[in-house]
Structure 1
Amino acid sequence: MLAELSIKNFAIIEAITVSFEKGLTVLTGETGAGKSIIIDAIHLLAGGRGSSEFVRYGESKAELEGLFLLENNRHPCLERCEEFGIDASDGMVVLRRDISSNGKSICRVNGKLVTIAVLREVGRMLIDIHGQHDNQELMDEEHHQFLLDQYGASKTVPALEAYRELYGKYSALRKKIRQLSDNEQEIAHRLDLIQFQLNEIEEAGLEPDEDLKLQEERKEISNFEKIFEALQNAYNALNGEQRGLDWTGHAMSSLEDVASINETLKTMSENASNSFYILEDLSFQLRSQLDELEYDPERLNFIEGRLNEISHLKRKYGSTVEEILTYSAKIEEEIETLTNRESHVHNMKSELASLFKDMKIEAENVTAVRKQAAKKLSSDIHRELKELYMDKSSFDVVFGRRQGSKDDPELDGEKVKFTSDGADLIEFYISTNPGEPLKPLSRTASGGELSRIMLALKSIFSRHQGVTSIIFDEVDTGVSGRVAQSIAEKIYRVSVGSQVLCITHLPQVAAMADTHLFISKDTKKGRTKTSVKPLSDDEKIREIGRMIAGVEVTDLTKEHAKELLSLASSSKK
């Protein structure tokens, strides 16, 4: 949910900080007081298009900041933040945007500088702003399939996973066939290049870990004198009269004479014997090493040359000898494939045809599952529309297929384009009057009718979209009476268990609010300022009375407002 919003030097707002709660929050006030300006600020905070015109006159920049709390540790926003390297592990997301007077924006998410595109990606998972004339996701036919899949996720997700596993293999194989078939000249150039690379690697005759062994040997040869001197000194210290081994032998003999007296002397005698034999063995090793030592400057030159050769290959084919050998095996396989590509293409096409049969079955299963979900969705939306007094309306989910090109596979005699989401082309259709044909939702008439349609859809999809905050900007325009009351109840129902912010001119909607914020403006020292005030119970009565009657609020109007609040309270229960 949006917990706090801070706005500074934005349009006619000098500086305000507003705290929000869960449930339904309504924003009311006179026309022009700045209600929509607050929604504009939230829209920009979520990555909307900015402009220098938003900066308050005479100021250098506008500053917008919003704190969002994510109670669900599996919220999709957390995964998206992780993708962009943004730490949101504490379940808090702070969006900040500064718009300068020259029109440039600086965007941050949890203090990290981000592009406007990243801000938009994160913002759209936190905020869903819906206004009467907005081109929202629900009005975008390209998004209808995604919404349907979310609605029926319990069955569509497993079906899509099974399909996508085959689609991934199908796409990869199809791409490989295209690469082998399309351009003879490119293939010839590629073959020449990798054949040269393979020859160069093979001529080098590399062995696993050869560079590491050579580096070790080079180190030994380079330190020959130091090693020889150390071995000679150690050997001389042990061997010879009055040297280490001689004295250790004397100690061993002396202790052997008294070892049988007690256990302590026996242990000491054994330790002396062990030490003597260890040192004696060490002496033999030192002698052997000295005999084998040989300084060979030619060998050192060979090692240096060999390491330079390996280094040259590393710059081209891998950072280690193992990587070079792996690359060699890979291009050797590619050479074989390119050289015998006609045979490979033939085999791949057979494999592709077999894969397509399996993929087609899974795609048809996805379509069948979606049609089941569509049937249930239509029923749910009809119920929502009936509650909004549009019981004569008809809603349907229309299925088609994505039109393919000449290279795409055929289904029932027509070319069909398969994507990672299947081959379905899905669009929501609606008819608001009996006898009228169903038409695409995107071409439905505007006005109060459209507001009710969108609210019905939002009532369904808000449960499945996982958006933190839903904002309705005057979606109740053009309605009154019993329809207004129905809209109020519907908006409240959407807010249960979540957060809804709503700008409204309907007293019925205002009466349903859990929190009522009053937006006003006044003029001080020749400048207009907007302020936001949470209303007490008595102030709610007066404001709802103003919304009912206009400027003059009479005692009778107040009684009507009290009755409206009482009815709203009963409706909530």
Structure 2
Amino acid sequence: MLTALAIRDVVLIEALDLDFTRGLGVLTGETGAGKSILLDALGLALGARADSGLVRHGATQASVAATFELPDDHAVASLMAQNGLDRDAGEPLIIRRIVKADGGSRAFVNDQPASAGLLRELGRHLVEIHGQHDDRGLLAPAGHRALLDVFGKVDTGSVAVAHRAWRDAEGVLAAARAEIATAARDRDWLEHAVSELDALAPEAGEEETLADRRRLMQRSEKIADDLSTIDTLVSDGEGGLSKLRQAARYLERVAPDHPALADALGAIDRAIIEGAMAEHRLAEAARALSFDPRSLEDDEARLFELRAMARKHRVQPDDLAALADELRGRLERLDNGEAGLGALEADLAAKARAYEAAAAAVSAAREAAAERLDAVVATEFAPLKLDAARFRTQVARLPDDQWSASGRDRVEFLVSTNPGAPFAPLIKIASGGELSRFVLALKVALAEEGGAATLIFDEIDRGVGGAVASAIGDRLARLAQGAQLLVVTHSPQVAARGDGHFLIAKRHDGIVTRTGVRTLGDDERREEIARMLSGAEVTDEARAQAERLLAA
């Protein structure tokens, strides 16, 4: 609930701090005293348009801070978390809005920067404002379905799941039809492309293998002459290895004659062994690096074909094999398309039937809830002196293209104000006084089914008096048992039912006009209600009547 409102430099309000409690709070004052400024200030904190005209003349900025006490599991908590805002358990919610005289504005939620859009979202969970010119809330047909669902505890979860499955099946079928239509237009191209790719038979990784092999063969050409020269120097009859063998044979004859000759023979033998190893490895390398020139030509031709085909299809050479599979699959789906479409169409029809069954169950629940709501609202009409009025919750079928996750129903609250008169939308046929009472009757009927914890009624008793005003006061007091109500009123009968009373008044010091609000004590409250009864001159008779209203 709203516990405090701090206003600084808003229009005629210089500085104002108000504390609120549960129950019914009434705000009274002379016409033009500034009650609308108070509501505008609260609206600013709840995300209303930031108009620099709200800044008091001579001030650089206006500010409003609204404080709310909420349970930790309130919907506001998850909304704040979704928007990256912190709130500790048990901590009050403080929404602050600043508007500068030059037009700029800033918003804060528990001292964390926030957008005006987020303030509006929070506001929908915190405060409901109703008045005889309200074209939102209970009077807006767009919200009637949700109100009825809450009242009737209508569970739309199953229809939402069925709707999602139905729409997904529609999307799959549409995509399949589009693919088949495109494939049919491109059949000749597909067949030619698949034929080309099948003839080429590309393999993943083939380009890299061919490129590496080509580089090796090109290198082999360059080192072939060096290998030939090395072979001549090592293995030829006049090569180094042959000469070492000849030297070894000579040394074998003379080695016994001296130890050094024997050592020399051992060294030459080791050199011959190493040389033979080198000769063997050179032969291996020569065999490995030898190639048929036609192989180089073939690899280069293959590499060219792969790269040319890749450029043609705007893919990498390594992706050609996957592309061939994809195009082949498209041809196969085209060939099998009609059978596939038939299965998808059957699936879509089944999903549509499932949605209609779920939607029909929700419609039946809404129709039953509508009957109950009509009966509850009707019981509120007589006390509010609307005996001739009738109320109807119309549950009608929407056009097929407007069916949604919420079902296929359009819900609208209709009334007939006189016997024999047709039913029509509430806002179109009710007079100002009737409209306020219809709104109150609806709100009382819906009160136990959730909604914002703070309700504000702005002069909904305008145009009524006497017994009707008293009945409105009774209903407001009843509604306040389960919620916090703030009522701007000109009716003494309504004001007398308040649990707290705020007086809004202007004062002028000869230079500046200011609007102030103060909480009234018992005696002050009796005097204010007497003023509301008698006008400018408060009589003893009016005071006595005020006393009777307060006692009642």
Same structural fold, with TM-score higher than 0.5 when normalized by the shorter chain: yes
Q: Indicate yes or no: 2:349 matched with 1:353.
A: yes
Q: Indicate yes or no: 2:380 matched with 1:384.
A: yes
Instruction: Provide Cα deviations, 1:392-450, integer angstroms capped at 9, x if missing partner.
Output: 21111112221134xxxxxxxxxxx3200111111111001111111122322331111
Counterpart of 1:87? 86
Instruction: Provide Cα deviations, 1:499-553, integer angstroms capped at 9, x if missing partner.
Output: 0011111111111010111112212361112221111111111111111001111
3-state secondary structure, aligned to 1:27:
strand
- Aligned counterpart in structure 1 of residue 513 of structure 2, from 515, 525, 528: 528
Paired with 2:358 and 2:480, the residues of 1 have a C-alpha distance of 38
Instruction: Provide Cα deviations, 1:22-71, integer angstroms capped at 9, x if missing partner.
Output: 00001111222211210111112111223111111111211011011113
Paired with 2:132 and 2:332, the residues of 1 have a C-alpha distance of 59
3-state secondary structure, aligned to 1:356:
helix
- Aligned counterpart in structure 1 of residue 470 of structure 2, from 485, 489, 496: 485
CA contact (8 A) 1:75 1:466 kept: no
- Aligned counterpart in structure 1 of residue 406 of structure 2, from 388, 402, 421: 421
The Cα shift of 1:335 comes to 7.0
Q: Cα–Cα, structure 1 residues 334 and 18, in superposed 2: closer, same or farther, change >3 Å?
A: farther
Give 2:8's aligned amino acid: K
* The 10-residue stretch of structure 1 (522-531 or 9-18) with the greater mean CA deviation from structure 2: 522-531
Q: Indicate yes or no: 2:172 matched with 1:176.
A: yes
Give 2:354's aligned amino acid: D
* The 10-residue stretch of structure 1 (178-187 or 534-543) with the greater mean CA deviation from structure 2: 178-187
CA contact (8 A) 2:397 2:409 kept: yes
3-state secondary structure, aligned to 2:27:
strand
- Unaligned 5+ runs, structure 1: 196-201, 206-327, 406-416, 568-573
Matches within 5 A, 1:139-538: 139-153=139-153, 156-157=154-155, 160-182=156-178, 184=181, 203=204, 342-405=338-401, 417-524=402-509, 526-538=511-523
Paired with 1:103 and 1:135, the residues of 2 have a C-alpha distance of 27
CA contact (8 A) 1:65 1:97 kept: yes
Q: Indicate yes or no: 2:538 matched with 1:553.
A: yes
Paired with 2:331 and 2:120, the residues of 1 have a C-alpha distance of 48
Q: Cα–Cα, structure 1 residues 54 and 46, in superposed 2: closer, same or farther, change >3 Å?
A: same
Counterpart of 2:319? none
Q: Cα–Cα, structure 1 residues 525 and 550, in superposed 2: closer, same or farther, change >3 Å?
A: closer
CA contact (8 A) 1:187 1:338 kept: no
Q: Cα–Cα, structure 1 residues 556 and 362, in superposed 2: closer, same or farther, change >3 Å?
A: same
The Cα shift of 1:102 comes to 2.5
Paired with 1:333 and 1:24, the residues of 2 have a C-alpha distance of 75
Paired with 1:387 and 1:338, the residues of 2 have a C-alpha distance of 71
Instruction: Provide Cα deviations, 1:47-99, integer angstroms capped at 9, x if missing partner.
Output: 1223111111111211011011113x332222222221222343522111111
Q: Cα–Cα, structure 1 residues 149 and 188, in superposed 2: closer, same or farther, change >3 Å?
A: farther
TM normalised by structure 1 equals 0.69
CA contact (8 A) 1:43 1:129 kept: no
Paired with 1:186 and 1:110, the residues of 2 have a C-alpha distance of 58
Q: Cα–Cα, structure 1 residues 128 and 336, in superposed 2: closer, same or farther, change >3 Å?
A: farther
Give 1:542's aligned amino acid: E
Counterpart of 1:242? none
Q: Cα–Cα, structure 1 residues 80 and 187, in superposed 2: closer, same or farther, change >3 Å?
A: farther
Q: Cα–Cα, structure 1 residues 187 and 34, in superposed 2: closer, same or farther, change >3 Å?
A: farther
Q: Cα–Cα, structure 1 residues 58 and 566, in superposed 2: closer, same or farther, change >3 Å?
A: same
The Cα shift of 1:341 comes to 5.2
CA contact (8 A) 2:66 2:95 kept: yes
What is the number of residues matched between the two proteins?
423
3-state secondary structure, aligned to 2:125:
coil
Paired with 1:560 and 1:116, the residues of 2 have a C-alpha distance of 46
Counterpart of 2:134? 134
CA contact (8 A) 1:337 1:344 kept: no
- Unaligned 5+ runs, structure 2: 195-202, 207-322
CA contact (8 A) 1:141 1:442 kept: no
CA contact (8 A) 1:545 1:553 kept: yes
What is the Cα-based RMSD across aligned positions, in Å?
3.0
Counterpart of 1:7? 7
CA contact (8 A) 2:426 2:435 kept: no
Give 1:41's aligned amino acid: A
Instruction: Provide Cα deviations, 1:103-156, integer angstroms capped at 9, x if missing partner.
Output: 232122222222221110111110111121121221111111111001011xx1
Q: Cα–Cα, structure 1 residues 518 and 187, in superposed 2: closer, same or farther, change >3 Å?
A: farther
> Percent sequence identity over matched residues?
36
The Cα shift of 1:336 comes to 9.7
Q: Cα–Cα, structure 1 residues 475 and 336, in superposed 2: closer, same or farther, change >3 Å?
A: farther
Paired with 2:527 and 2:48, the residues of 1 have a C-alpha distance of 35
3-state secondary structure, aligned to 1:558:
helix
CA contact (8 A) 2:183 2:331 kept: no
Paired with 2:475 and 2:36, the residues of 1 have a C-alpha distance of 22
CA contact (8 A) 2:132 2:435 kept: yes
The Cα shift of 1:461 comes to 2.2
Paired with 1:188 and 1:151, the residues of 2 have a C-alpha distance of 55
Give 1:382's aligned amino acid: A
* The 10-residue stretch of structure 1 (82-91 or 142-151) with the greater mean CA deviation from structure 2: 82-91
3-state secondary structure, aligned to 1:82:
helix
Q: Cα–Cα, structure 1 residues 441 and 186, in superposed 2: closer, same or farther, change >3 Å?
A: farther
Q: Cα–Cα, structure 1 residues 480 and 525, in superposed 2: closer, same or farther, change >3 Å?
A: closer
Paired with 2:16 and 2:339, the residues of 1 have a C-alpha distance of 72
Q: Cα–Cα, structure 1 residues 440 and 483, in superposed 2: closer, same or farther, change >3 Å?
A: same
Give 2:68's aligned amino acid: F
Q: Cα–Cα, structure 1 residues 521 and 169, in superposed 2: closer, same or farther, change >3 Å?
A: same
3-state secondary structure, aligned to 1:387:
coil
Paired with 1:9 and 1:386, the residues of 2 have a C-alpha distance of 45
Give 1:559's aligned amino acid: A
